[in-house]
Copies of this chain bind each other. A is one copy, B any other.
Amino acid sequence: MKQEKLPTPLRGIVPPMVTPLLSNDALDVNGLEKLIEHILGGGVHGLFILGTTGEAPNLSYHLRHELVKRTCEQVAGRVPVLVGITDTVVSESLRLANTAAEAGAAAVVSAPPYYFTPSQDELVHYYKHLADRLPLPLFLYNMPSHTKVSFAPATVKAIAKHPNVVGLKDSSGNTVYFQLMCNALKDNPDFSLLIGPEEVTAEAVLMGGHGGVNGGANLFPQLYVDLYEAALTKDFELIGTLQNHVLEISSHLYTVSSCGTSYLKGVKAALSVLGICSDFMAEPHQSYQAEEKLKIRGYLKEIKSNMQGQYQSTVNL
Shortest C-beta distance, A143 to chain B (Å), equals 9
Instruction: Write the A140-158 contact mask toward B (1 if CB under 8 angstroms, else 0).
Output: 0000001110000100000
Check: A310 CB closer than 8 A to any chain B CB: no
Question: Which of B58, B175, B183 interacts with A247 by CB under 8 Å?
Answer: B183
Instruction: Indicate if the CB atoms of B57 and A251 lie closer than 8 Å.
Output: no
Instruction: Write the A215-253 contact mask toward B (1 if CB under 8 angstroms, else 0).
Output: 000000000000000000010100110011001101100
Q: For residue A202, which residues in chain B have a CB less than 8 angstroms away from its CB?
A: 207
A121 to B119, CA, bound (A): 23
Shortest C-beta distance, A264 to chain B (Å), equals 8
A59 to B115, CA, bound (A): 12
Instruction: Indicate if the CB atoms of A114 and B113 lie closer than 8 Å.
Output: no
The interface size bin for chain A is 35 or more
Instruction: Indicate if the CB atoms of B203 and A176 lie closer than 8 Å.
Output: no
Check: A188 CB closer than 8 A to any chain B CB: no
Question: Which of B90, B176, B200, B283 interacts with A199 by CB under 8 Å?
Answer: B176
Instruction: Write the A169-181 contact mask toward B (1 if CB under 8 angstroms, else 0).
Output: 0000111110110
In the complex, identify which listed stretch (A11-19, A27-35, A66-74, A123-131) lies at the interface while the others stay far away. A123-131
Instruction: Indicate if the CB atoms of B183 and A90 lie closer than 8 Å.
Output: no
Q: For residue A199, which residues in chain B have a CB less than 8 angstroms away from its CB?
A: 175-176, 179-180
Check: A197 CB closer than 8 A to any chain B CB: yes
Q: For residue A179, which residues in chain B have a CB less than 8 angstroms away from its CB?
A: 199-200, 203, 243, 247
Check: A1 CB closer than 8 A to any chain B CB: no
Shortest C-beta distance, A299 to chain B (Å), equals 14
Q: For residue A92, which residues in chain B have a CB less than 8 angstroms away from its CB?
A: 60-61
Instruction: Indicate if the CB atoms of A146 and B243 lie closer than 8 Å.
Output: no
Please report which residues of chain A, range 280-317, place their CB below 8 angstroms from some CB of chain B when the two chains form the complex. Answer: 282-286
Instruction: Indicate if the CB atoms of A284 and B112 lie closer than 8 Å.
Output: yes
Instruction: Indicate if the CB atoms of B259 and A119 lie closer than 8 Å.
Output: yes
Instruction: Indicate if the CB atoms of A284 and B122 lie closer than 8 Å.
Output: yes
A121, A122, A204, most chain B CB atoms within 10 A: A122
Instruction: Indicate if the CB atoms of B89 and A57 lie closer than 8 Å.
Output: yes
Check: A117 CB closer than 8 A to any chain B CB: yes
Q: For residue A264, which residues in chain B have a CB less than 8 angstroms away from its CB?
A: 116
Check: A208 CB closer than 8 A to any chain B CB: yes
Instruction: Indicate if the CB atoms of B89 and A58 lie closer than 8 Å.
Output: yes
Check: A25 CB closer than 8 A to any chain B CB: yes
Q: For residue A153, which residues in chain B have a CB less than 8 angstroms away from its CB?
A: 251
A58 to B122, CA, bound (A): 14
Given A59-B89, A125-B284, A251-B180: A116 touches B261 (CB 8 Å cut-off): yes
A259 to B118, CA, bound (A): 8
Would you give 18 A-B contacts (Cβ < 8 Å), ordered by A?
A24-B91, A52-B115, A61-B92, A114-B115, A119-B259, A125-B286, A129-B283, A175-B199, A175-B200, A179-B247, A184-B251, A186-B244, A203-B206, A206-B206, A206-B236, A207-B239, A207-B243, A234-B236
